[in-house]
Amino acid sequence: MKNNIYDLLNDANINLDEYKKEDFNDIERKALKKNIRKSIKKSNKQSATRKVIAAAAIVAVLAGMSIGNTRAYAISKINLFSESISSFLGIERNLEDYNTVINKSVMDNGVTVKLNEVVLDNNELLISTNISSDRILKDYEIWHGEMNLYINNKKVKFTGESGGSKNIDNYTTQQVAEYDLDSIKDMDLSGYLNVKIIFSEMAENYQDDINGTWKFEFTTNGDRLKIDTKTVNFDYEFDIENGEKYILEKYTDNALGQKLYGKIINNSINNETYNILLKGYDDLGNKVEFDLSRGRKEWFVLKYENVLCGNLNEKASKLMLTPYAVRMPEQSGKAPSSDEYKKVGDEFTINIK
């Protein structure tokens, strides 16, 4: 996987006009889901899966929403095997001290959802699920679920979502979704939390949505990973060609990997959408890359690319990074390739020890 996420989408036609608005009504949500499904073309199984993961990540970053009625199947099959969240994300660190293992399955309307495990990372909740039915998935098909989340009986409004999906057999899709919980800043996420997850719609590409109720309730702890998260505060800013100013504020490192957090000062007079990428190396000479994970008009999160660069060397003490940006196309068509990114700032250094 030498190319960044946009290279994986070179053959995918995605209508990004649908993703400029911050809020979507029911008609727009239907159109968005339709466009996502159309973006996935027939190909070999591996490349199709990679395109689905990439498309899901881009749509989540730009739209800040999840995707997810009437078609039933016979008794559903569920694959009990699933990769751990750390393995799925290409992270070598052990999450046993931080995750909550659920391993519960619920079936409705011929579709079975198995909730594997969850991890709460400060204001981000990672959820691993298996979704399956008796219907055989074609190479370009993959299951999606639309979810509502409640923490301590308060409904959480998602402000961002990213993650990936892949088929683990002919019937089953495993998904690891990362939900941003910034909308509940006034809620105390420390200690033990009562969590309720309700899936209300299931969909597979090119097929009708399936209505149902797949409900899970459990308790998790919000302190475990927070205690072992290292934070480095710093200040670095750069401008992109549409007039927006990006300000990087902090670096975090924990068992789920490394992230960079920042805010955006929007001086732009247009609605152009950009992707941000930080590329460079550590003080040991290893390649380092942070790609856009999620964001809105006021803030963004960049995540270290474990799959592309391998896990960050634990002996590294400094990161030397340079910001790059690319404008996303306004109409459907091929996504930008890696050589279309333009340098938008000077190299800077983060002391991570």
Residue 267, classed as helix, strand or coil, is coil
**Domain boundaries along the sequence of the chain:** 66-226, 228-351
From CA 344, how far away is CA 141, in angstroms rounded?
37
More confident of the two residues 104 and 89: 104
Topology given in CATH for the domain delimited by 66-226: Immunoglobulin-like (2.60.40)
Residue 62 has pLDDT above 60, yes or no: no
pLDDT in tens, 19-40: 443 444 444 444 444 444 433 3
Q: Is the dihedral of CA 328, 330, 336, 340 positive or negative?
A: negative
CA dihedral of residues 115, 121, 125, 131 (deg, nearest 10): -30
Q: What is the pLDDT of residue 44?
A: 35
Name the residue with tokens 């008796």.
Answer: 134
Residue 251 has pLDDT above 90, yes or no: yes
- Chain mean pLDDT for the chain: 77
> SS in 3 state form for 193-237?
EEEEEEEEEEEECCCCCEEEEEEEEEEEECCHHHHCCEEEEEEEE
Residue 126, classed as helix, strand or coil, is strand
pLDDT in tens, 138-178: 888 889 888 899 999 988 887 667 778 899 999 999 999 88
CATH 2.60.40.1640 assigned to domain 228-351? The reply is yes
Q: Are 246 and 230 in contact (CB under 8 A)?
A: no
From CA 324, how far away is CA 341, in angstroms rounded?
6
Domain 66-226 identical in fold to domain 228-351? yes
Q: What is the pTM of this model?
A: 0.70
From CA 162, how far away is CA 62, in angstroms rounded?
10
